[in-house]
Chain A
Amino acid sequence: GDSVTQMEGPVTLSEEAFLTINCTYTATGYPSLFWYVQYPGEGLQLLLKATKADDKGSNKGFEATYRKETTSFHLEKGSVQVSDSAVYFCALKMIKAAGNKLTFGGGTRVLVKP
Chain B
Amino acid sequence: DAGITQSPRYKITETGRQVTLMCHQTWSHSYMFWYRQDLGHGLRLIYYSAAADITDKGEVPDGYVVSRSKTENFPLTLESATRSQTSVYFCASNPRDFNNQPQHFGDGTRLSIL
A residues neighboring B (CB under 8 Å): 32, 34, 36, 41-46, 49, 51, 89, 93, 95-96, 99-102, 104-107
Contact = CB atoms under 8 A, between A and B. Distances in A.
Contact of B106 (A43, A99, A104, A106): A43
A51 B42 contact: no
Contacts, number: 57
B100 A49 contact: yes
Nearest to B103: A102
Nearest to B110: A41
Contact of B100 (A32, A41, A89): A32
A104 B42 contact: yes
Interface residues of B, number: 26
B48 A101 contact: yes
A89 B90 contact: no
B98 A45 contact: no
B45 interface: yes
A113 B104 CA distance: 29
A56 to B, nearest CB: 15
Interface in B11-67: 31, 33, 40-43, 45, 48, 50, 56, 58
Given A49-B100, A51-B100, A95-B100, 20 more contacts: A36-B102, A36-B105, A43-B106, A44-B90, A46-B104, A89-B42, A96-B98, A99-B31, A99-B48, A99-B50, A100-B48, A100-B50, A100-B94, A100-B97, A100-B98, A101-B33, A101-B45, A105-B42, A106-B42, A107-B43
